[in-house]
Structure 1
């Protein structure tokens, strides 16, 4: 060991000053209580030996405020090899060593140049062999009662053991440092306060551990030396407080624990700060303050343990181990302060064990979060059923194995009604109960287990909020599908009851088969959804995928996509069909008709793309385009013919939009147009959809000054009372009653009645679809004021309409004789 440098030895001694566990040789000594630390004369030693016998002193208790000289017999020990005498397991306030010969005279040995430095850090006595040393005297004094263990061992054995224990201390420090790093990583990833508490526990334990091992004595500050024990005790107290906060934040889900109307955080802060302040201000009673502080803390740990166990807040076996080890560590620290014995083996062992348990808790919780996240990726949160991804994986396995199967999607309408009427919580309970009943039925049939493991088995999957699915094994057989459909509908026949309310509704079912209808799993789900979305006809309970319906649906999607592009790239156009006053032959105005010529689809008729626009929500943009273009053209037309009235068709979905009246008002002001020269044409079915709201909306348009016409009259179910209530400015007879007017008695009756009704309500009548002179004459005889149709002109593009208008503007038309060209 002679190769170990002096400074390295000092560091080793510091780390192990209070913790080395060596097999000491015989420690025969006598104890001499004294009042001061001055060296004793030889005579006093001799008299003491006459009065007292040398006895073994494995440990000795220093009373608070008293001094003692311990006289050790090293005559026989120091003859063979060098020895070390030091005080194990305690840091005392004052310690002094002396070497004596056989006559009790002080021996002055030449010290190493760093000897004084070593003594200031680790008080010890090096006894050299064959140096004439017979006795070793040690003076000890401390402000608090403490138990010490004088130890005399061979020098080589001491240094060998020091190296082993340095490794142990380094390992414990590394473990704590790793724990700190892991806790910090968890905090920066999750920003959860509990990880700050865990970092506080580990940091305080590390400081207390290094202080207990005497590392801070390396700084050589007398103040640190004086308060080293209290520093270790206070940081350990603070560490247990942080551990309590960590468990509270972990197990109580961040809910604050209140003790005597005081939050736990405040209780712990008051406890730690009071204990520290009292131990510093009243130095002589510091031990008692720490005993009280640790006692209260042990009680708090026990209280939190009982509370956590009672409410079963995330309580697991690992939680039980963590709580018990924390309680044990608190008791050991209390015993250390109370008995003035360091109990290093227990302290260090519990420190390592608790660090491991806490880190294991973190890692297990993180693993559980990962498992829960993975579970949420493949399962529905509300019902726990496999979701679309899990179903897709299951179907993909079947496709890979080329096994025929049918996918059955069903949408229980009653469950949606239950949510709307009874609330989500009750509805979700009913969903779980109903799906469990259906799964029980499917388990006895030829149904595929979508998920099967040791913990659970599922036959049903949840695709979305309202759609569920199960898989039927085998080739497509209608009789088998019918059997499954019957079982599914039977489960939902009873409906859902809540208190005295009973909800009963049907189940929509769609079926597709692999490989008949689809070539892969994704396509199979798509085809099943298409079958599910098919409208029920003639009481059908379910629908098989139909390629024709699929092509139609695909075409509708293409039209919707192209229509959006048409609006953005100005592919749409407006045509104008003139309206003529039948009495005078003068031009009344024109109806703006929307036309769309697509470069790929060709001419797409309005009755084809308008419903698609309404169902996809594009109708709003489409209507705005039509209104803006119509009023822009009206501005140019009124420059030629100021009394011209333009009729604009408005969709039922647009009528109730608050933005549309604002748009009309803005454009009318911008283009300086008369609102009375703009007629809004609404279909009869649109006005019947929601009478109260429609009337309110119509009043908003009338306040602007716009006129309102009911289009396609006769195709709906309007009553006289309804027409009177709405107060339309114009009633437009649908062309299906006009085009065959000459040959149909029923059509003539309808047209005559319509004209009579309009007269009684004070409304104008427009006859649409006039194609011959006979129809014109009949309508005129019934009192129809305005005519529109191919007899006068076909729909014209804007420029053509302007030319037509200029050509016929000054001509009074004999509507009984002439066509307008």
Structure 2
């Protein structure tokens, strides 16, 4: 059932190619006798028993001897013109030509695979005749272990020599093409690591070996013994070819990802063919025509199943590949028909040659197109982002470089959605990318009316610079109003958002703007300065900002500070200053807060609020915190030798608060120095307390178990409630100095301070006031019930040696105010 369409196509090809090949120069007879011991003399004596045949085809039954008679119908020719009677194939058995004239044997030529050492005689068994001899007949004795058909032709010697050269040329061309394509595919498979090419290369090599065996050309390029051995493995090459074609199809269409069940079935069939090939190799067994047809049907069914799966998943190049394999299947069916004796080899030469070229060209073309598609895809994605489809940074550089070379003014907007990371964490990367594609599609539609004039010059409107940063390039000079207009368009799209499960997932963006040639003279610098403007939007509190040269100076300074921080500790550039703290109730010294200072060799004094954020961002804050703790405890050790009740407050970065290494360091150094942990206070800012609400309580409990006290610094600058702070149980609340500086004149700040003092006392926490600058503030805080004062009115932050001197003076008076008010 499966093979009939292929048989029909082959029949059409046979008709086309054999139409002009019929010869009327000979009359062919066959002798129907069962005596296998007849000699040529017996055959001549029984000449009358020969029966005429309508065609030039010799039908050979398996394992029997056949006698045929050929009467040449040679036209009158000039003297010494030679003719050649030849067979289109040398059978596996033998064929013998007997030239008989006037019932006498003139010449005899025997052809078999073992008796003829000249390779061309194994391809073209023949006998030469002359036209001068009359009453000439040629008898043929043919035997073969399998059924087959032979075609007998009579042509002139010149035609025969031309035919021989032409056929050998085409045999070599076809084999060279098959071997070349096969080896080329194998090399490509190794270099590109594409397994399907290795199966395709093996398929072409196996086809080439089969073709060499069928045509006899194999005797031209390998020794006779090896050629005989390879020819005996016809079944092995058949099974290997089938296995390679199945695995190529499965790998090419990635059936394992499409349908694992069909892939496993195809793999099983391929393994079956491979096992059959191994058995044929070991036993050198021949396979019957019926078995070959069953194998062909199994191969065809497996391939059709694979193509059906590929078709249902709309795999690329499906139909060209399907059409490309039809010639290969027709060639295989023709080989089976040849083995069955249904067709002579000469009828196959033309169709097979055409089918080979069609098959190789189509398959190679598909592989080329697929490779080209991958190369085009590689080139495309080298300039585009795979997730959003936007042009990438490289494409942006190319476009800007083109504009710079043309000296065209242009403006670049870099913008960053603020919710990108949160969307990825909450809904997954796939949804986040889908959301961005929707937003950018809307943005392009919104921008199109504004960009109609630049459509020819600007092939790309939007670009992706990094994971969450994008860019828009506009050609020409823009006014501030136009820039604001574009910012509003971009912001509006993201604020509108995308619907997700019934609600709008909106977003906010920050935008940085730079202009060529105002802000930069090349693409790299223009992008950098636009990104600097984007980064500066956070510090300015606006959602967009135009590049300012001062931004670059600040960025350069931050970079220099970040690099210098690495060596600041080892070069003793850091120092810990101490600012005294006084108990307001009795004017006695309570302790001091350690304040970090950095004296840069080139830049001079660097305030902590400048370099601490840089240290946190660059990951160097851990080493700085360790140094502050160590230095502070060393100072405390020296102080408590004289003033045992002295309290030391040290500021801890929120980045280090929950690190176990910090607790280990405290335990180790407190034990080594025999210091009282209750005399150490670790200060954290209110913003850190709010951000770490979930696990801060556990962290504070860890320090409590250690015996260290914890204070909340800059209280009032955040949005925490006293109820929340009471739950955490801070030992101290430090009121930020912005509420203290003008407390004597600001009723609002007075209310804040008094309320904080009252509520803190009810929670069991002490209140520390920062920024006490004068006596009026000092007395006001005393009146409100504040516990501790700290500020320039008492003392500015001073070096350790100066602090020891100040402590000595302060402890000689009953009330520190006696030192301050003179």
Partner of 2:25: 26
Deviation at 1:242, TM superposition (A): 1.6
Partner of 2:56: 58
Partner of 2:448: 443
Partner of 2:39: 40
Alignment of 1:311-330 (within 5 A): 311-315=313-317, 318-330=320-332
Partner of 2:698: 696
CA distance in 2, matches of 1:493, 1:582: 52
1:204 is aligned to 2:209? no
Partner of 1:87: 87
Partner of 1:9: none
Specify the SS of the correspondent of 1:817: helix
Go from structure 1 to structure 2 and tell me whether the alpha carbon gap of 1:795 and 1:260 turns closer, same or farther (over 3 Å shift).
Answer: closer
Partner of 1:724: 726
Partner of 1:356: 361
Specify the SS of the correspondent of 2:656: helix
After superposition, the C-alpha distances for 1:275-332 in whole angstroms (9 at most, x for unaligned) are: 8869998979722222332233334444444443344221355334324334433443
Moved more, 474-483 or 29-38: 29-38
Go from structure 1 to structure 2 and tell me whether the alpha carbon gap of 1:171 and 1:670 turns closer, same or farther (over 3 Å shift).
Answer: farther
Deviation at 1:706, TM superposition (A): 0.9
Deviation at 1:233, TM superposition (A): 5.6
CA distance in 2, matches of 1:770, 1:276: 96
Moved more, 306-315 or 787-796: 787-796
Partner of 1:191: 193
CA distance in 1, matches of 2:741, 2:723: 28
Deviation at 1:75, TM superposition (A): 11
Partner of 2:382: 377
8 Å CA contact 2:87–2:126 kept in 1: the answer is no
Go from structure 1 to structure 2 and tell me whether the alpha carbon gap of 1:577 and 1:306 turns closer, same or farther (over 3 Å shift).
Answer: closer
Partner of 2:818: 817
Deviation at 1:260, TM superposition (A): 8.4
Q: 1:530 aligns with which of 529, 532, 546?
A: 532
8 Å CA contact 1:279–1:286 kept in 2: the answer is no
Q: 1:477 aligns with which of 476, 479, 485?
A: 479
Partner of 1:676: 678
CA distance in 1, matches of 2:695, 2:110: 111
8 Å CA contact 1:713–1:731 kept in 2: the answer is yes
CA distance in 2, matches of 1:184, 1:808: 91
CA distance in 1, matches of 2:687, 2:226: 95
1:396 is aligned to 2:401? yes
Deviation at 1:513, TM superposition (A): 2.4
Specify the SS of the correspondent of 2:529: helix
Specify the SS of the correspondent of 2:576: strand
CA distance in 2, matches of 1:681, 1:610: 15
Partner of 2:465: 463
CA distance in 2, matches of 1:744, 1:222: 113
Partner of 1:498: 500
8 Å CA contact 2:213–2:230 kept in 1: the answer is no
8 Å CA contact 1:408–1:511 kept in 2: the answer is yes
After superposition, the C-alpha distances for 1:96-142 in whole angstroms (9 at most, x for unaligned) are: 4445553435768999xx98644995684554769999554432112
Alignment of 1:774-789 (within 5 A): 788-789=790-791
CA distance in 2, matches of 1:592, 1:41: 125
Deviation at 1:674, TM superposition (A): 3.5
Partner of 2:344: 341
8 Å CA contact 2:649–2:682 kept in 1: the answer is yes
Alignment of 1:95-114 (within 5 A): 95-100=95-100, 102-105=102-105
CA distance in 2, matches of 1:258, 1:424: 27
8 Å CA contact 1:83–1:128 kept in 2: the answer is yes
Go from structure 1 to structure 2 and tell me whether the alpha carbon gap of 1:116 and 1:38 turns closer, same or farther (over 3 Å shift).
Answer: farther
Deviation at 1:83, TM superposition (A): 5.5
8 Å CA contact 2:579–2:592 kept in 1: the answer is yes
Specify the SS of the correspondent of 1:475: coil
Q: 1:69 aligns with which of 62, 67, 70?
A: 67
Partner of 1:15: none
Deviation at 1:382, TM superposition (A): 2.5
CA distance in 2, matches of 1:352, 1:392: 46
8 Å CA contact 1:63–1:142 kept in 2: the answer is yes
Deviation at 1:57, TM superposition (A): 5.8
Go from structure 1 to structure 2 and tell me whether the alpha carbon gap of 1:450 and 1:387 turns closer, same or farther (over 3 Å shift).
Answer: farther
Specify the SS of the correspondent of 1:463: strand
Number of positions where the alignment pairs a residue of Structure 1 with one of Structure 2? 793
Specify the SS of the correspondent of 1:263: helix
Specify the SS of the correspondent of 2:46: helix
TM-score by length of 2: 0.82
Alignment of 1:143-154 (within 5 A): 143-154=145-156
Moved more, 168-177 or 720-729: 720-729
Deviation at 1:147, TM superposition (A): 0.4
Go from structure 1 to structure 2 and tell me whether the alpha carbon gap of 1:162 and 1:22 turns closer, same or farther (over 3 Å shift).
Answer: farther
What's the Cα RMSD here? Answer: 4.5
CA distance in 2, matches of 1:780, 1:110: 132
Moved more, 341-350 or 652-661: 652-661
Go from structure 1 to structure 2 and tell me whether the alpha carbon gap of 1:667 and 1:437 turns closer, same or farther (over 3 Å shift).
Answer: same
Deviation at 1:764, TM superposition (A): 4.2
Partner of 1:619: 621
CA distance in 1, matches of 2:718, 2:309: 71
Moved more, 241-250 or 141-150: 241-250
Gaps of 5+ in 1: 1-18
Deviation at 1:574, TM superposition (A): 1.6
Q: 2:662 aligns with which of 646, 660, 663?
A: 660
Deviation at 1:271, TM superposition (A): 4.7
Deviation at 1:373, TM superposition (A): 0.8
Deviation at 1:207, TM superposition (A): 1.3
Moved more, 506-515 or 444-453: 444-453
Deviation at 1:698, TM superposition (A): 1.2
Deviation at 1:194, TM superposition (A): 0.9
